A and B are shown apart, each in its own frame.
Chain A
Amino acid sequence: MSSFFRKLRWLLQRSGKEAELRQELQFHLDEEAAERRQDGLTGDAARRAASRELGNRTLVEENTRAVWGWVFLEQLIQDLRYAARTMRRNAGFSVLALLSLALGIGANTVIYSFMDSLFLRTLPVGQPESLVVLNWHSQGRVGGGANHVMHGMDGSTWKDDNGTSSGIFPFGAFELFREKTTLFSSVFAYYPTEKRTLLVKGQAEIAAGEYVSGDYFHGLELTPAAGRLMVADDDRAGGPLVTVISSRLSERLFQGASNAVGQTILIDNLLFTVVGVTPPEFFGVDPDASPDFYVPLHSNLVLDGTESFAKTPKSYLDGNYYWIQIMGRLRTGVSRAQAQAALAPQFHQWVAATATNERELASLPALTAKAAAGGLDTLRRRYSRPLYVLWGMVGLILAIACANIANLLLSRSTARQREMAVRLSIGAGRVRLIRQLLTESILLALAGGAVGALLAVWGVRFLSALLANGQDNFAVRPDVNWHVLGITCAVSVLCGSLFGLAPAIQSTRPDITPSLRGGRVAERSPRVGVSVWRVTLSQVLVISQIVFSLLMLVAAGLFVRTLSNLQSVQVGFNRENLLMFEVNARQAGHRDPEILTFYEELRKRFAAIPGVRNATLSHASLLAAGRRLGLSVSGTPLTDTWILNTGPDFFSTMQIPLLMGRQIDEADQLGSLGIVVVNERFAATQFGGQNPLGRRIRLGGPHPRDMQIVGVAANAQYGGLKQDIRPVIYIPYNQGDYPRVQKMVYALRTAGDPLAQASTVREIVRQADSRIPVMNVTTQAMEIDRSMNQEIIFARLCTGFAILALVIATVGLYGTMAYRVARRTGEIGIRMALGAQRGAVVRMILRQALVLAAIGLAIGLPAALGASKLVESFLFGIKSNDPSVLLLAVAVLLCAALIAGYLPAWRASRINPLTAIRDE
């Protein structure tokens, strides 16, 4: 520290110190000269002898100043000033380099800020690092009739290495963990409520909430923004209906947290009292969910009372029903590994007791305790792979940009060879020169990084909008914070050193005489090692650019083909001019059987809107549906048969052709003959060539019923675009109490722009029941686009990146060829004077360009084949080694190489032999 202040003090007294040093050395010279005079030398000779003895006075001064300690700073300022001047002088080069760097660094910053928000942020709760989330892992397949202790579930599982994992548990397991007070200071449970209809002062609102156990907020160590948070006593069967709401919801409904406490909210027509508000930064434990209200776990007994998968007191006792998610806070001194080691055997014992047969015993779930400081992994699982792919792309772009700038610097260093030679010959140190050149390139890189960071601010918004694609609750919230900027700065410095070092070392090679002499250095002259070495380095750089471009081109080709394959999927219905929206009358209090007529009345009113041709409804849109229930034909259970619960006019509205029989119409209702329409695939797989009309399908449930097949419809895509055509049966929604009718998705075939009818639709629903909000208004075309969102992003971004890479590589190749032609002017002139034809000269130069491209392709093709395997899971309808894509990429690159080589070749063929030789 004291040395720092000393340096600072000296920095302030700098000019005084320098004068003193000069005086001191002058005194030394005078003394020495006086001494020499005493020895008998004359005045002049004595002074000269004294000077000789002192040596290089500037160097002595410099070395002494170095001791003062701010020489580094002084030289840095000098270098920076010089670098700025050089950049200004080569404005064209600087702008080009800066732009390509800014794009490269900016793109990397964008992706990194997404990574940052996904992987590095912690929950805004007290001591997040001591939180663990409990999961389980089972070998092999789980669910769908597989032998597993999980007989029923409400939640999600995900596939991972050789098995299935999940975070849902039976309530009994929660009670087991809750007793482990030596490991945990608190164990709490939660699960999402899904979307609910909230009614406050006559205003209907849709919001998602979370069921939480009494210890949830205590375990997270949260302090309320107003009121109180949930306590253990709130969470019991028959307890008070209380809720804690988010700050966001309190603003929206009550204009502030403090106003909200004590107010009441109707949630799905049940009266809840607001007891408190969570802090504004809190978003729950799952970054993907952001619940707006929290209700006691046991309130699901009343709140879920009418849902199809309602929780009952039995749900709490059933050891084979998996539904609650569990987190714990470790006691101080207990590590995650210790907790897992202690809990795993006890859970194993507990879960083994719930197995009902040998095969369930064989694949028991094993407990894992994972760090929960960053919240649940929902978002990370969804976005990490696409982000890694994007990261790879932007990394390549940055690599190409760096290689390009290194190449530009190399060719520029030829122009500066004389300057460097002069400076070396008058005694500049090589390290000092390299440092100065590096300062130049790092300054360039930092400027690029600064512009890149600005671009990134915009890019983050752009990519967020792309990824969210209209989702109102897109949960990844990246921003360009100091952390991200620090990384950007580091990347810039690294890039600057990378692309600056080789040219700097090369141009300060101490072999200076040829440059000083000013003669043209002969190409590939064996005496001049420098020249050969530089050309090789520049070739390596060009080849690497070609390799990277090929990778980008192949990726772009694969993603564009994937998108076009998806877009050309025959959905089997007319996707144009179809308005879709959701209505949930049950949450507003409508009950069976009145709800059936309510939905049907609504449909009739929609169909009567001028400009609407047909209107229909179904339990979900065709592409979002995924319902399988117990079905059988003549006593044989049907596996792999999918269900759409729908209503009148479905096939005419969707314009799905009927191959046989009739569609569902208004006469099919509760009490009339049970009917069903099947698709072609179902008819073919189930009845082969026989006529399916009149056959019966039995639907299970509490009161099994038989349905007669009255029609066969053409195949239509069900459950997503990427699915193969599935066997589907269309069951009227209103012919029984199973499955229970919840929300309904209406589809309106319109004459003109579908969205133009949205306000009319809202008005009709408001008139029918003002408590019901209209949700998710969209069109079929938009829904399809949204389902291809990731593919659209990849195709667009990758095409853009590939074009960028190709342009940069072409410019790089052109630069190298032009530079070589310029250096070979004399040689080419001699060739032409000796009778070489212009065509031969053009071919000679072109051949060299193509050889570079060919080497690049030879390296790039295997690399592309290897790299494209990494994105295989993102492809649709195309293999990662698709030959047409590879061929196209190679052809495009060769064309680019030809273009890049032709201009210099043409220029070489126009060399006037006389002028060229005279210059030599």
Chain B
Amino acid sequence: MPRDTPSRVDLLQGTLDLLILRTLLPGRSHGHAIAKHIQRTSEDLLQVETGSLYPALHRLEAKGWIAATWELSDKGKRARFYRLTARGRKQLAAEQSKWEVFSRAMGLILNPVDQEGQ
């Protein structure tokens, strides 16, 4: 059943970092692939703006959570590949549990369970 939601949602402040870290968890990837992955996995609900993607990647790199190397892409082109560092992995775990607590809390408030019904 098609849901009555807008075709796209704006990213919440601070969630882009979490999304990038999560996307890099299986392995290395370059900027364009990261954006596409987020878009596809979210069933096109999340559109990553290039204007914020690259600053975010460089910021994460500056924080030491991801590292970058120049490698050849599948099509044989030189691309800047990012991968998680050990610190990034730790950060991801922390961010993820924080996010889960947060979304559970939001869910509880937005869809309250009827007390009498229990």
With the chains together, A761 CA to B4 CA distance in Å?
Answer: 115
Instruction: Tell me, yes or no, whether B59 is within 8 Å of chain A by CB.
Output: yes
Interface residues of B in 49-98 (CB under 8 A from A): 49-52, 54-55, 58-59, 62, 70, 73, 75, 77-80
B contact residues around A25 at 8 Å (CB): 54
Smallest Cβ-Cβ distance to A32: which chain B residue: B32
B contact residues around A68 at 8 Å (CB): 58, 62
Q: 1/0 per residue A49-63: CB within 8 Å of B?
A: 000011110011001
Q: A53-B50, A54-B50, A59-B51 are in contact. Are A27 and B62 (CB under 8 A)?
A: no
Q: A54-B50, A55-B49 are in contact. Are A27 and B77 (CB under 8 A)?
A: yes
Q: A53-B50, A59-B51, A60-B51 are in contact. Are A28 and B31 (CB under 8 A)?
A: yes
Instruction: Tell me, yes or no, whether B37 is within 8 Å of chain A by CB.
Output: no
- Give the residue of A27, A55, A60 whose beta carbon is less than 8 angstroms from that of B80: A27
A contact residues around B78 at 8 Å (CB): 23, 27
Smallest Cβ-Cβ distance to B49: which chain A residue: A55
A691 to chain B, nearest CB (A): 105
Interface residues on chain A, number (Cβ under 8 Å): 25
In the complex, the answer to whether A27 meets B49 with C-beta atoms within 8 Å is: no
Instruction: Tell me, yes or no, whether A378 is within 8 Å of chain B by CB.
Output: no
Instruction: Tell me, yes or no, whether B28 is within 8 Å of chain A by CB.
Output: no
Q: A27-B32, A30-B77 are in contact. Are A67 and B51 (CB under 8 A)?
A: no
Q: A28-B32, A30-B77 are in contact. Are A55 and B58 (CB under 8 A)?
A: no
Residues of B contacting A: mostly: helix
Q: 1/0 per residue B87-113: CB within 8 Å of A?
A: 000000000000000000000000000
Instruction: Tell me, yes or no, whether A6 is within 8 Å of chain B by CB.
Output: yes
With the chains together, A32 CA to B51 CA distance in Å?
Answer: 14
A contact residues around B51 at 8 Å (CB): 54-56, 59-60, 63
B3 to chain A, nearest CB (A): 25
B contact residues around A27 at 8 Å (CB): 30-32, 73, 77-80
With the chains together, A18 CA to B12 CA distance in Å?
Answer: 29
In the complex, the answer to whether A60 meets B50 with C-beta atoms within 8 Å is: yes
With the chains together, A60 CA to B58 CA distance in Å?
Answer: 12
B109 to chain A, nearest CB (A): 34
A268 to chain B, nearest CB (A): 78
A6 to chain B, nearest CB (A): 7
In the complex, the answer to whether A28 meets B50 with C-beta atoms within 8 Å is: yes
B6 to chain A, nearest CB (A): 19
B28 to chain A, nearest CB (A): 14
B contact residues around A30 at 8 Å (CB): 77
In the complex, the answer to whether A69 meets B62 with C-beta atoms within 8 Å is: yes
In the complex, the answer to whether B31 meets A67 with C-beta atoms within 8 Å is: no
Q: 1/0 per residue B24-54: CB within 8 Å of A?
A: 0000001111001000000000000111101
A contact residues around B58 at 8 Å (CB): 64, 67-68
B contact residues around A56 at 8 Å (CB): 51
In the complex, the answer to whether A67 meets B32 with C-beta atoms within 8 Å is: no
Smallest Cβ-Cβ distance to A55: which chain B residue: B51
Q: A6-B62, A27-B78, A27-B80 are in contact. Are A60 and B54 (CB under 8 A)?
A: yes
In the complex, the answer to whether B32 meets A31 with C-beta atoms within 8 Å is: yes
Instruction: Tell me, yes or no, whether A753 is within 8 Å of chain B by CB.
Output: no
Interface residues on chain B, number (Cβ under 8 Å): 21
With the chains together, A616 CA to B59 CA distance in Å?
Answer: 91
With the chains together, A28 CA to B36 CA distance in Å?
Answer: 11
Interface residues of A in 37-56 (CB under 8 A from B): 53-56
A contact residues around B77 at 8 Å (CB): 27, 30
Smallest Cβ-Cβ distance to A60: which chain B residue: B51
In the complex, the answer to whether B30 meets A67 with C-beta atoms within 8 Å is: no
With the chains together, A30 CA to B80 CA distance in Å?
Answer: 13
B contact residues around A31 at 8 Å (CB): 30, 32-33
In the complex, the answer to whether A64 meets B62 with C-beta atoms within 8 Å is: no
In the complex, the answer to whether B31 meets A24 with C-beta atoms within 8 Å is: yes
In the complex, the answer to whether A67 meets B49 with C-beta atoms within 8 Å is: no
B contact residues around A160 at 8 Å (CB): none
B60 to chain A, nearest CB (A): 9
Smallest Cβ-Cβ distance to B56: which chain A residue: A67
With the chains together, A67 CA to B49 CA distance in Å?
Answer: 16
B65 to chain A, nearest CB (A): 13
B contact residues around A54 at 8 Å (CB): 50-51
With the chains together, A60 CA to B70 CA distance in Å?
Answer: 20
In the complex, the answer to whether A67 meets B50 with C-beta atoms within 8 Å is: no
B contact residues around A6 at 8 Å (CB): 62
B contact residues around A91 at 8 Å (CB): none
Smallest Cβ-Cβ distance to B33: which chain A residue: A31
Instruction: Tell me, yes or no, whether A66 is within 8 Å of chain B by CB.
Output: yes
B contact residues around A23 at 8 Å (CB): 78, 80
B contact residues around A59 at 8 Å (CB): 51
Interface residues of A in 62-113 (CB under 8 A from B): 63-64, 66-69
A contact residues around B73 at 8 Å (CB): 27
Interface residues of A in 7-47 (CB under 8 A from B): 20-21, 23-25, 27-28, 30-32, 34-35
B contact residues around A35 at 8 Å (CB): 36
In the complex, the answer to whether B55 meets A64 with C-beta atoms within 8 Å is: yes
B64 to chain A, nearest CB (A): 9
- Give the residue of B52, B59, B62, B80 whose beta carbon is less than 8 angstroms from that of A24: B80
A282 to chain B, nearest CB (A): 55
With the chains together, A68 CA to B68 CA distance in Å?
Answer: 14
Smallest Cβ-Cβ distance to A59: which chain B residue: B51
Smallest Cβ-Cβ distance to B59: which chain A residue: A67
A contact residues around B33 at 8 Å (CB): 31
A contact residues around B55 at 8 Å (CB): 60, 63-64, 66-67
With the chains together, A24 CA to B78 CA distance in Å?
Answer: 9
Smallest Cβ-Cβ distance to B79: which chain A residue: A27
B contact residues around A64 at 8 Å (CB): 54-55, 58
With the chains together, A56 CA to B55 CA distance in Å?
Answer: 14
B contact residues around A67 at 8 Å (CB): 55, 58-59, 62
Smallest Cβ-Cβ distance to A2: which chain B residue: B64
A contact residues around B54 at 8 Å (CB): 21, 24-25, 28, 60, 63-64
Smallest Cβ-Cβ distance to B31: which chain A residue: A28
A4 to chain B, nearest CB (A): 12
Smallest Cβ-Cβ distance to B30: which chain A residue: A27
Q: 1/0 per residue A591-630: CB within 8 Å of B?
A: 0000000000000000000000000000000000000000
With the chains together, A30 CA to B79 CA distance in Å?
Answer: 11
With the chains together, A46 CA to B24 CA distance in Å?
Answer: 28
A contact residues around B31 at 8 Å (CB): 24, 27-28
Question: Which of A6, A31, A55 has the most B CB atoms < 10 Å from its CB?
Answer: A31
B2 to chain A, nearest CB (A): 23
B61 to chain A, nearest CB (A): 8
With the chains together, A32 CA to B53 CA distance in Å?
Answer: 14
A contact residues around B30 at 8 Å (CB): 27, 31
In the complex, the answer to whether B62 meets A20 with C-beta atoms within 8 Å is: no
With the chains together, A8 CA to B19 CA distance in Å?
Answer: 29
With the chains together, A667 CA to B9 CA distance in Å?
Answer: 119
With the chains together, A60 CA to B62 CA distance in Å?
Answer: 17
B contact residues around A63 at 8 Å (CB): 51-52, 54-55
20 contacting pairs across A/B (C-beta < 8 A): A20-B80, A23-B80, A24-B31, A24-B54, A27-B31, A31-B32, A31-B33, A34-B75, A54-B51, A55-B49, A55-B50, A56-B51, A59-B51, A60-B51, A60-B55, A63-B51, A63-B52, A63-B55, A64-B58, A66-B55
Question: Which residues in A have some Cβ–Cβ distance to B below 8 Å?
Answer: 6, 20-21, 23-25, 27-28, 30-32, 34-35, 53-56, 59-60, 63-64, 66-69
Question: Which residues in B have some Cβ–Cβ distance to A below 8 Å?
Answer: 30-33, 36, 49-52, 54-55, 58-59, 62, 70, 73, 75, 77-80
Q: A28-B54, A55-B49, A63-B55 are in contact. List 5 more A-B contacts (CB 8 A).
A: A27-B78, A31-B32, A31-B33, A59-B51, A66-B55
The 7 closest A-B pairs by CB, nearest first: A31-B32, A67-B58, A63-B55, A67-B59, A24-B80, A64-B54, A28-B32
